[in-house]
A and B are shown apart, each in its own frame.
Chain A
């Protein structure tokens, strides 16, 4: 479902959909943004990873986590942003019980980065890329979590867990450059892939490590000004982001078509009802009263530091995809598959290097290794089959030590036991018979016991050769080297 599709069916006005996404991604760090508490709160008992600073106790002061700042700047560089020399933190003031200090330390007018862009697959034109502007990437702190409870007697209360408070949070603000819900989905996939490539965030949406708010507005095509903007929140999966935007486009179009006006507001996505509902109108919007955080000095990032951080950037998915296609002569689809994650791409390149056969490595990985991962739910670096194992298997095939038919069996055992394929072949006697003497006897037997096939061969029937090869293979229980069998048969028949 796209906006153009809707606009096309609209009897009245042709609307252009304008979408901008705000993504919050938790930064992977050992400690929190402004104190030394662990930021690995997942699974920790409530309120155990806390200190006076992240609890907002009187007199406590923030101290900046430099790793989180570096991760933010690296992310911004990967998103082609400018890195200003001067940056600072600001206080965003609002009151809510999950906000320990009554303000969030964030960045307002001098963020760590600005004016970048992100390329993503154009869902309307497979194989083509689209580009959306990145307004800024800045750094702030996460809030505590509140759990609203109703006990058996019907009494309601709220429980607070401060473990998450102060975890570093990157905000990646996108320009309003997206035009369809599917583009939003594609944008998010590209962004998530980059964050994971950089290792700066797990970017897992279901764990809350990656959150997305969508700003959606419609305007008559050709109109320069934007229409009234609705901010949609509460989406907990990429799918719900796409659905919420789709819903919002239809809702706004219906209102406009009916002659109504869009109210600028914040709406929440209700997943089980697949609708958005009003959360907060513009009139009730917060005045955050931003002002420079006096407890933290401004941050200077000299050009030399930017250069140093840029040198730490890994090869990004798009560049890797192109290089794979060029260097290994693979199709765009295979290159795409192999670069899904940085770990998979590295797995492929190691296998290709160790085996000296990139094509075979690509085939084995896209076909068998990904199937194994799919079946087990494991990550590429968690399975027993390492690139060394897979390269060993490929070499056994390439040297004719094993046949294509035996290989899957060897692979399965290597996956389940972690044994090296050549050891498995040796132990279980799975090697091909390439011993000319042993095969000569089997070939002679096959010729002697199949006179009709021999006659057919001599009469020029091509299929007769295949029959004789099959007879030899049967006699050797599949271990005969097919090439050698062919050669020996020809020698004896023609000789």
Chain B
């Protein structure tokens, strides 16, 4: 193809696709503008293929404008959204207004002095409260809820100059591993639209994978960032519990939830974490731990780094390709100068059971505020106050939240508390002690993220236990409160992505970035894009039914 095209959506048209996820009706028309920027943005000429640091570089050097970049991702959304369905709400008008403001800032005398994410498009999982923009947490019970406040992370991203393209789809209240539990619609894996993107932050992972945003923000309670990152072949980081504020983040399980980034390439995640990390006076669980300059050490390599490999994380149900690719990735790190050591995390096998006591217990309490009295869905046809509250919950919650409310209520009930909740907290201490023990002799622990590649949509939806097992390798990390990162480490025999999980010491995200960055520098998996993300593929690809 001699000439190439950059899809640029018209303002009004793109503006119309707000709430398109809910209505299922994307606006159609795009205008194709002939551009010649090959030399700037690589052979495809597609701005949506840029990594965040590349975009930053081009923006600061005024080689591209934030408005162009916003048009590019909004056009990509228009082009691919019917197949992927990453979003519950696309905020095109807001994105273009923010991009315009970014361009003004970048047109000043010192563009390099602009905030680090100025003009960079980012998608937000739909559980981050955004002033004036509907925030549903993937649930019908919050349909129509428009927060009058920003989550702290949203405010910090705003201050960092980011451009918000929309609110990404998710499993309802972050409960799930496939995004099929969304109260609105499922999201499709950009690598194979008949498969799930993982979850619960499936929309955030798919959006970055499909080039609908350069970055995105998700939350990870038991693997909800790392597992979809793995299944969609993007980088996803779950920071240390307490590293990032949860204020304004719709809560699932308060002692486990943590906010983190998705990106193409590790450096983008470092840029996002840099912007959002640090103590927040509005969240008493954030830690007063200094936030290092992540990008200043990210290129330091892994020479001398001690990597632990826990035998327990290479489980019986694991797909052979997954195990092979993860072991190859560990060898690659070894080849880069790291040393590899066996470690043992024997209590991790109880991680899933522990998690499925603690998380539902906290969720059963966190979700009790949704009763239709103050916001969201309200059963206004019921006259009696108590009946109206009950009816709102019966209609507004999907099956998975209902299941977990019941599990959690049971676990906390008088007479069962000691046997379940208290016991689970005790096991939690043991799981954490295992990690402390292992980290006495290693710097990083390497394991698979998910025992399998992306599964077919519908394959596990009627089998909650099978769905829960998707997170068997990621859950212990949340239970212990540690940071974990998922980086693309290859493709299985069907061409489906596999991720490598690196687990770090508490508040040592810097070492995870360094190791992950060294790894991706030695491979090219992170630069591979799903076919539907490539602009020249658009015309030929049939929309997903």
Contacts and interface: CB of A to CB of B under 8 A. Distances in A.
Interface of A: 52, 55-64, 91, 93, 95, 97, 100-103, 158, 160, 287, 289-291, 294-297
A102 B365 contact: yes
Given A59-B249, A60-B248, A289-B413, 15 more contacts: A52-B148, A57-B147, A57-B374, A58-B137, A59-B129, A59-B251, A61-B284, A63-B284, A93-B412, A97-B385, A102-B365, A291-B421, A294-B255, A294-B285, A296-B284
Contact of A291 (B248, B249, B365): B365
Contact of B254 (A52, A63, A290, A295): A295
Contacts of A287: 413-414
5 contacts: A57-B374, A58-B147, A58-B251, A61-B246, A297-B285
Interface string B377-414: 00000000100010000000000000000000100111
B247 A59 contact: yes
A297 B149 contact: no
Given A95-B389, A296-B284, A61 B368 contact: no
A61 B282 contact: yes
B285 to A, nearest CB: 6
B145 A58 contact: yes
Interface in B223-255: 246-251, 253-255
Interface string B344-377: 0000000000000000011011011101011100
Contact of B371 (A95, A289, A296, A297): A95
B374 A102 contact: no
Contacts of B251: 58-59
Contact of B151 (A59, A91, A100): A59
Given A97-B385, A100-B374, A291 B254 contact: no
B274 interface: no
Interface string B111-140: 000000000000000011100000101000
Given A59-B151, A61-B246, A101 B368 contact: yes
Contacts of A55: 374
- Chain B contact residues, majority secondary structure: loop
Contact of B282 (A63, A103, A294): A63
B326 interface: no
A164 B373 CA distance: 17
A295 B362 CA distance: 10
Contacts of A64: 284
Contact of A62 (B151, B284, B369, B409): B284
B365 A103 contact: yes
A291 B151 CA distance: 26
Interface in B140-197: 142, 145, 147-149, 151
Contacts of B128: 59
A127 to B, nearest CB: 46
Contacts of B409: 289
A490 to B, nearest CB: 82
Contact of A59 (B250, B284, B373, B385): B250
A55 B246 CA distance: 17
Most chain B CB inside 10 Å of its own CB: which residue of A57, A58, A294: A58
Contacts of B304: none
A91 B285 contact: no
B319 interface: no
Most chain B CB inside 10 Å of its own CB: which residue of A93, A97, A158, A291: A291
Contacts of A101: 368-369
B365 A91 contact: yes
Most chain B CB inside 10 Å of its own CB: which residue of A64, A93, A103, A295: A295
A94 to B, nearest CB: 9
A97 B250 contact: no
Tier of interface size on chain B: 35 or more
Contact of A295 (B127, B148, B281, B285): B285
Contact of A297 (B151, B281, B284, B365): B284
B57 interface: no
A291 B412 contact: yes
A59 B136 CA distance: 11
B10 interface: no
B385 to A, nearest CB: 6
B200 to A, nearest CB: 15
B283 interface: yes
A57 B254 CA distance: 15
Nearest to B388: A97
A91 B361 CA distance: 11
Contacts of B412: 93, 289-291
Given A97-B385, A103-B368, A61 B413 contact: no
Contacts of A158: 385
B247 A289 contact: no
A58 B143 CA distance: 13
Nearest to A56: B369
A-B pairs with lowest CB-CB distance, top 3: A102-B368, A294-B254, A289-B412
Contacts of B249: 59
B218 to A, nearest CB: 15
Contacts of B250: 58-59
B245 to A, nearest CB: 8
B417 A291 contact: yes
A296 B409 CA distance: 21
A160 B371 CA distance: 14
Nearest to B280: A61
B136 to A, nearest CB: 10
Nearest to A51: B149
B362 A60 contact: no
Contacts of B421: 291
Given A52-B149, A57-B147, A62-B284, A100 B365 contact: no
A59 B284 CA distance: 13
Nearest to A59: B248
A100 to B, nearest CB: 7
Given A55-B374, A289-B412, A297-B284, A93 B365 contact: yes
A153 B459 CA distance: 56
Nearest to A62: B284
Contacts of A295: 254, 283-285
B250 to A, nearest CB: 5
B47 to A, nearest CB: 32
Nearest to A94: B368
Contacts of B248: 52, 59-60
B416 to A, nearest CB: 10
Contact of B127 (A59, A62, A63, A91): A59
Nearest to A63: B284
A274 B71 CA distance: 74
A91 B363 CA distance: 12
Nearest to A34: B284
Nearest to A55: B374
A33 to B, nearest CB: 12
Given A58-B137, A297-B285, A289 B147 contact: no
Most chain B CB inside 10 Å of its own CB: which residue of A59, A93, A100: A59
Contacts of B417: 289-291
A115 B151 CA distance: 42
A61 to B, nearest CB: 5
B414 A289 contact: yes
Contact of A60 (B247, B253, B365, B367): B247
Contacts of B284: 61-64, 295-297
Contacts of B282: 61, 63
A100 B385 contact: no
Given A58-B142, A97-B389, A289 B281 contact: no
B368 A93 contact: yes
A97 B252 CA distance: 21
B255 A95 contact: no
Contact of A58 (B368, B369, B389): B369
Contacts of B369: 56, 58, 100-102
B482 to A, nearest CB: 17
Interface in B248-275: 248-251, 253-255
A103 B361 CA distance: 13
Nearest to A296: B284
Given A64-B284, A291-B421, A95 B368 contact: yes
